[in-house]
């Protein structure tokens, strides 16, 4: 009788259900999810540090408190707190101060596969890990990690009372978060099938800037093997911010909130009040306060010196550096054009003005570079700093590869961020060619040399690079030598 009953049961009920994907991490057990055949296991919203709330606001990351039972790690976690700038509205409405989490996508929990850690962009004041781990890149033999970090006033404020708590240092809490996340990866990624000795960090825009600062930061020296910077450099072409100047921004917070130099009222203040104050902060050295949290602060701890000097003493690591052909326009618009050119080129500003023909009527837009002001902004914020950084690292003996990206799905210009889908989702750049293939080869073996496709020459000699465009992958040399040879900022 029992045999006949078994015969009547559906085959799916007879088969043993696969065990849930559970992993022990600091804090306790987590359980991920597999979203269908062929897709990787996903673990979402894993805490890598304690929630930076209350007394932990503007403190270095603390260890994760333990939880009981099994923690579900299946849903997208909240973004870090941020104002609504419209382009980030979805992250704004689901943001929280309790946000120090990371996501992982892995094919299996065994093995030792290359690890790629994504640092999201958003001017260090917005953005999130989003659905990065759902990208096609995660199905290409790597363990993909996406991290979140404190933003804006919560992540980068310097304040005199905070400096008094920390032996005279203050600021860069968002960078501290990133370093804590990378330490977590070192300690735990083997449990997800990743190789802690083969970690590549990569990011775009502010994420690329932070990658560059992590290359410079002594505390991050042993936490990753190589790096990719997409449309961002350590300084974004801006001068560094000395701590005394950063503390002046903290003075503004006191004036706006009435905290009178005390940190206790600021730690007790509502998140909404601090976000509102963030919108009113000003840096007198910038033409646009949109760049407020992109100007790196020499805090004395995470960044004990100018990134340029720190990089000269940092361990040599392979690096890819690149920018897009037409990124975005001038900070604060055309009215600030002269000031931006003067600040960027310094003593060579006259040469730059002549090169761009700034005293002549506006020329017709270039089909790929765009309007003159777009070209100027792309040069001074992206293309020239990328070249100077590549020079600095190559001259110090680092293996460097440089690129320029000039593709868009609609055939338009390669505006800021257009490269992300080509890396994450493997969008084709020609028959059998994918930008993603070069990134994967680099993450796997330290060189962007896939089995198929043109050779990407190292940056030196001759400032060699490749262009990713409608023609595929084309080697070139001396990218934007003029006017970039007249600018000395990274």
Q: Cα(119)–Cα(212) distance, rounded to whole angstroms?
A: 11
pLDDT at res. 159 = 98
- Asked whether residue 247 is domain-assigned, the answer is yes
pLDDT at res. 36 = 78
373, two tokens: 């002001």
298, two tokens: 């020499």
329, two tokens: 């326009």
> DSSP secondary structure string, 340-352?
HHHHHHGGGHHHH
SS3 for 72? Answer: strand
- Asked whether residue 284 is domain-assigned, the answer is yes
Q: Cα(428)–Cα(415) distance, rounded to whole angstroms?
A: 18
Domain with 58, as residue range(s), is 22-454
Residue among 186, 160, 168, 174 at smallest CA distance from 61 = 174
Q: Do you find a cis peptide bond into 339, omega within 30 degrees of 0? A: no
Q: Cα(463)–Cα(445) distance, rounded to whole angstroms?
A: 22
Name the pTM for this structure.
0.95
Q: Bridge-partner residues for 203, per DSSP?
A: 119, 229
- Asked whether residue 213 is domain-assigned, the answer is yes
Nearest 5°: phi and psi at 37? -60, 140
- Asked whether residue 302 is domain-assigned, the answer is yes
Each residue's pLDDT expressed in tens, for the chain with a length of 490 residues:
344 444 344 544 444 446 679 999 999 999 999 987 789 999 999 999 999 999 999 999 999 999 999 999 999 999 999 999 999 999 999 999 999 999 999 999 999 999 999 999 999 999 999 999 999 999 999 999 999 999 999 999 999 999 999 999 999 999 999 999 999 999 999 999 999 999 999 999 999 999 999 999 999 999 999 999 999 999 999 999 999 999 999 999 999 999 999 999 999 999 999 999 999 999 999 999 999 999 999 999 999 999 999 999 999 999 999 999 999 999 999 999 999 999 999 999 999 999 999 999 999 999 999 999 999 999 999 999 999 999 999 999 999 999 999 998 888 999 999 999 999 999 999 888 999 999 999 999 999 999 999 999 999 989 999 999 999 999 999 999 999 999 999 9
Sign, CA torsion 454/206/370/393: negative
Measured at the CA of 204, the angle between CA 191 and CA 222, to 5 degrees, comes to 45
Collect all residues with Cβ–Cβ distance below 8 Å to 305 and sequence separation of at least 6: 298
- Asked whether residue 490 is domain-assigned, the answer is no
Q: Cα(150)–Cα(92) distance, rounded to whole angstroms?
A: 13
pLDDT at res. 14 = 40
Provide the number of structural domains found in the chain: 1
pLDDT at res. 38 = 81
- Asked whether residue 5 is domain-assigned, the answer is no
Cα distances from 140 to residues 40, 199, 370, in angstroms, run 10, 15, 35
Q: How many Å is the maximal CA-CA distance in the chain?
A: 96
Q: Cα(73)–Cα(104) distance, rounded to whole angstroms?
A: 10
Cα distances from 434 to residues 180, 431, 439, 449, in angstroms, run 32, 9, 9, 12
62, two tokens: 């603390």
Cα distances from 235 to residues 307, 403, 448, in angstroms, run 8, 19, 25
Are the CB atoms for 252 and 307 separated by under 8 Å? no
> DSSP secondary structure string, 155-214?
HH---HHHHHHTTT----HHHHHHHHHHHHHHHHGGGGTEEEEEEEEEEETHHHHHHHHH
Q: Cα(57)–Cα(51) distance, rounded to whole angstroms?
A: 9
- Reported as half-sphere exposure (CB side, CA atoms, 13 A), residue 350 has a value of 1
The single residue listed with the structure tokens 């894993």 is 46
- Asked whether residue 471 is domain-assigned, the answer is no
Q: Bridge-partner residues for 333, per DSSP?
A: none
Residue among 222, 140, 213 at smallest CA distance from 182 = 222
Q: What CATH number does the domain containing 60 carry?
A: 3.40.50.1820
SS3 for 230? Answer: strand
Q: Cα(478)–Cα(9) distance, rounded to whole angstroms?
A: 71
Q: Cα(301)–Cα(282) distance, rounded to whole angstroms?
A: 24
Q: Bridge-partner residues for 118, per DSSP?
A: 146, 202
pLDDT at res. 251 = 98
Collect all residues with Cβ–Cβ distance below 8 Å to 116 and sequence separation of at least 6: 137, 142, 143, 144, 145, 199, 200, 201, 202, 439, 443
pLDDT at res. 313 = 94
pLDDT at res. 15 = 46
469, two tokens: 């465009």
pLDDT at res. 37 = 79
- Asked whether residue 308 is domain-assigned, the answer is yes
């Amino acid at each position: 009788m029992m045999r006949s009953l078994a015969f009547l049961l559906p085959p799916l009920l007879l088969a043993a259900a696969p065990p849930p994907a559970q992993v022990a991490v600091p804090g306790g057990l987590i359980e991920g999810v597999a979203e269908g055949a062929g897709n990787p296991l996903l673990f979402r919203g894993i805490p890598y540090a304690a929630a930076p709330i209350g007394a932990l606001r503007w403190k270095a990351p603390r260890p994760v408190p333990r939880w009981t039972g099994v923690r579900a790690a299946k849903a997208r976690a909240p973004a870090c707190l941020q104002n609504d700038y419209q382009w980030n509205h979805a992250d704004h409405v689901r943001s929280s101060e309790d946000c120090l989490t990371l996501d992982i996508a892995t094919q299996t929990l065994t093995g030792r596969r290359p690890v790629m850690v994504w640092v999201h962009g958003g001017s260090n004041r917005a953005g999130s890990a989003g659905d990065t781990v759902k990208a096609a890149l995660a199905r290409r033999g790597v363990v993909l990690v996406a991290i979140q970090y404190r933003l804006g006033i919560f992540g980068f404020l310097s304040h005199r009372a905070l400096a008094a708590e920390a032996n005279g240092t203050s600021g860069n809490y968002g960078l501290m978060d990133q370093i804590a996340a990378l330490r977590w990866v070192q300690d735990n990624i083997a449990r997800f099938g990743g190789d802690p000795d083969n970690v590549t960090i990569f990011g775009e825009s502010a994420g690329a800037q932070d990658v560059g600062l992590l290359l410079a930061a002594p505390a991050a020296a042993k936490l990753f093997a190589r790096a990719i910077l997409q449309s961002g450099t350590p300084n974004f072409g801006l001068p560094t911010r000395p701590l005394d100047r950063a503390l002046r921004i903290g003075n503004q917070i006191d004036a706006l909130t009435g905290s009178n130099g005390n940190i206790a009222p600021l730690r007790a203040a509502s998140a909404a009040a601090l976000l509102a104050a963030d919108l009113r902060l000003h840096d007198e050295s910038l033409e646009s306060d949109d760049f407020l949290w992109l100007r790196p602060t020499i805090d004395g701890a995470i960044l004990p010196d100018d990134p340029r000097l720190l990089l000269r003493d940092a361990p040599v690591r392979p690096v890819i550096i690149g920018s897009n052909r037409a990124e975005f326009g001038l900070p604060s618009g055309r009215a600030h054009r002269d000031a931006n050119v003067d600040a960027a080129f310094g003593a060579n500003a006259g040469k730059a003005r002549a090169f761009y023909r700034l005293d002549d009527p506006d020329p017709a837009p270039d089909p790929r570079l765009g309007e003159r002001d777009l070209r100027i902004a792309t040069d001074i914020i992206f293309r020239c700093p990328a070249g100077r950084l590549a020079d600095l690292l190559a001259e110090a003996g680092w293996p460097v590869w440089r690129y320029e990206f000039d593709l868009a799905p609609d055939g338009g210009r390669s505006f800021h961020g257009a490269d992300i889908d080509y890396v994450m989702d493997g969008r084709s750049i020609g028959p059998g060619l994918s930008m993603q293939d070069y990134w994967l080869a680099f993450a796997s073996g330290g060189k962007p040399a896939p089995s198929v496709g043109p050779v990407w020459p190292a940056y030196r000699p001759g400032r060699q690079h490749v262009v990713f465009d409608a023609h595929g992958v084309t080697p070139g040399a001396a990218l934007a030598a003029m006017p970039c040879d007249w600018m000395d900022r990274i």
